[in-house]
Structure 1
């Protein structure tokens, strides 16, 4: 890639034999993602997600990034009302509270029991559970302090 091309607002590159446009201008990227999204339904997905649906994990293949065509359009129309700017600001506060609760739990545990070895899958499962319960359902749960709370056990 020539440096002169990289400094442009939009430039073309190749991913092996596939031509791609790279958008560097934040305002243009916002316009593509928000206002003109319906013209950009078949964007390049994650590697292996949309190309080999049968061989990919279902969770990956059904994400907005991996979907194409009408499936993408339908999913975006379904999700868009839930992720407006004001709703995201409200959710951010709730997510930050869940994160703070998690940090305080491990700080207290480390003070009382010493250094900890933490299974990250378990940690992020509990954190995601708390975020979903709080942001989507308005429930205040603490899956770190209450290890077997009903929301966590039913969500597993």
Structure 2
């Protein structure tokens, strides 16, 4: 799906994006799709584990993160308070139940998309997050700890966020 360029009053460089997913096919497919899409993105890097994500973020803090919930048995959402301090984080997962969605937004996710959804939904959300970054909007802050209190991002039934 082609995207029209939207002029944004910004002097920021295009955002860097980190993909965190334990499935190699998903990581490689997302990397290839995002690099070939007409999106305002800089570098795209992908890692498989929570430890790799934290190590990468220490040396090269990403501006945007696509984060899976289940990282080979590790809880990907536990990374949200760490990676989401400076980055807009989109949770991209097969686990789309209400409790997971609520927890993700409560921990500071900027967007939530199910892996079962069309790729165009994910691309729309990545564009929206990139645009928010380019406008200088800060990521949502963790509110209410694990209680799942909303952070201002919408968690509508479709799985996207409203802008």
Scaled by the length of structure 2, the TM-score of the pair is 0.22
Instruction: Judging by fraction of residues, say which structure has more strand.
Output: 2
Instruction: Judging by fraction of residues, say which structure has more helix.
Output: 1
Scaled by the length of structure 1, the TM-score of the pair is 0.22
Q: Who wins on radius of gyration, i.e. which is larger?
A: 1
